[in-house]
Amino acid sequence: MSSDFYTTQILPYAAIIIKICRAYTDTQEDFEDYYQEVCLQIWRSKDSFKEQSAWSTWIYRLSLNVCLTFLKKKKKQNAPSDLLPDEVLVDSRAFANESLNQLYGAIRQLSEIDRGVFLLYLEKKSYQEIADIIGTNTNNIGVRITRIKERLNKNIK
Which of 20, 23, 24, 31 contacts another protein by CB under 8 A? 31
C-alpha span between 150 and 30 (Å, rounded): 28
Which of 8, 11, 54, 140 contacts another protein by CB under 8 A? 11
Among 115, 107, 110, which Cα is nearest to 134's? 115
CB of 49 to another protein, least distance (A): 18
Which CB, 64 or 94, lies closer to another protein? Answer: 94
How many residues sit close enough to another protein to count as binding (CB under 8 A)? 29
Which CB, 2 or 81, lies closer to another protein? Answer: 2
C-alpha span between 122 and 110 (Å, rounded): 15
Please give the backbone phi and psi of residue 12, each rounded to the nearest 5 degrees, phi first.
-60, -20
Does residue 12 belong to the site contacting another protein (CB under 8 A)?
no
C-alpha span between 62 and 39 (Å, rounded): 10
